Structure 1
């Protein structure tokens, strides 16, 4: 299978702007970007929302102006009102309009999106296959999976955020490989994190949900309670209140309340401060298409301990000298996680090696301009005229 990448060659002609020494497009085309209504909600941050917001800023540098179209609703489980809001949004766009849809919205409503593929030039950006969310009732997961397949088979272009996700979508939904494209998240290089004491303060940046597996982290930390660690779980608490309550109970049961904090969501300077205090980033997800929190940590030179799932190995990556800036453990294995934590605390050479690799990886991370360039290439190759119903 060949993964098609979108390159700068597909960007419209450019001209030099002498007044600022830069390069700007001669003219901007417009892509209408349909995204979840809560994309800007600071109480519910997510990697997908951050990706959507950021690429809108960078696309103009590659010939595309993004017209943001947030659609309110409980995505990906919309009710009739939510579906009508999406239908109205798409219905108001002229024929042959270029539209990029966040998969959280598009893949939940094939009855709305599939007919519009006959008159609009559609691309769907999949941050996470809908059926991969952990904790869903099997019947609900199967229904979401079916809905997603119908949408992705109907549109001319699908965009995924890792090589793993490209392969997953092609094989799982039977998509033609040439229609599935890669646009991996970028990273903004930040100042090196000073940490706390170089070893003991852990941070996990992830929404508190079953898919992120924070209960496994609690179990692993309980097994190494003799070590002098502290840990902040930074992430939204409103996605699954039942799971949050379970996690709090588990923390209390293990007597870890004075060392393990659920901080709630953080952004901006507060999130920067959380990373700055971190000696080690820990992520225990059951499923990730990429793992932007991993590259956010590496962009500050923070080593990573994560589960070996989905696109996380790609996010961890390697430094230019081949060094690996993190440790990957099998999913569903808190004992393996605890063993690696003991190694982190007990072996200074391990810490030095991981920190050196993290700094090397930091310098080699792709920026968001690379992401925007890839998206621009996909948009530029959409068929000029959608297929029409016979």
Structure 2
């Protein structure tokens, strides 16, 4: 069955993809974006997300989300939205699973530090690093570097935007920077936000860094908590909190689908080119829900992301990443010989940056111990 025939007229279609950089002989007839999704799942960078920080560093406990579990939650939310809007679920899932491939160890702290250290060498931004991974750094296939993903998938990676991302670099020119991406790519921005806001509430409560009493001051939490109390009047404690989080995710998805559907109708969007040429993103939350969601984000920033224990780890992580980068730069023979051989082509600093960005929290800490603790085996 041709799944493209079941999609809305403004959806991205595998059959209409702009294709890949390199021609390949395929062993089967999977659609373009399904193949991209599978390649992302099997690449080394995706596996390393298991040990990369979301908010809590990996060794702080087995319960807390990592970049990998976050990516799976984004994929789950994104697929649900795409299904209801009759968009291409394969492309949404591929983008959800790829959107954090370029993240450093120690979360956004690692990104900030590498960007500072690379200021004179092109900087660092994790969307660009994700694209660099799928276009160059993965080494799995004969005849080309990278994963040779479809143009639309790579476009969605570089145009992903959240409150932390800063797209807009010269290498973006290959992906029509003045055009909107597909609706499938637009979904990822908000699916990402819905996922991390809600799982950070869960993780923050579990860690004891935020409390239910503090959440009770937020309008959106009040709304969902009241709804849960009406449905389950005898529910208390953790179960009540879990159900409130679950209903909050459902509410945000419902609002997004309804608002996006209204936008598509209001602006007479009936094909993909109309999506691309529209002056703004069409996938949105309603004004009232966006306002309440902004309150939640501000609360999490203030109470969780700047909690003194999170700050302590942030300061330590800055030191780890800075010392590793400086040591490799001043003593490049510390690096594996294969990496040293790439200096002439890519530049010493960029090779070092790629190496550190690819580390997990665990491997970065192990490397720190090997380099700086005298009794640690090298």
Q: TM-score surpassing 0.5?
A: no
Structure having the larger proportion of residues in helix: 2
Higher strand residue share? 1
TM-score under structure 2 normalisation? 0.30
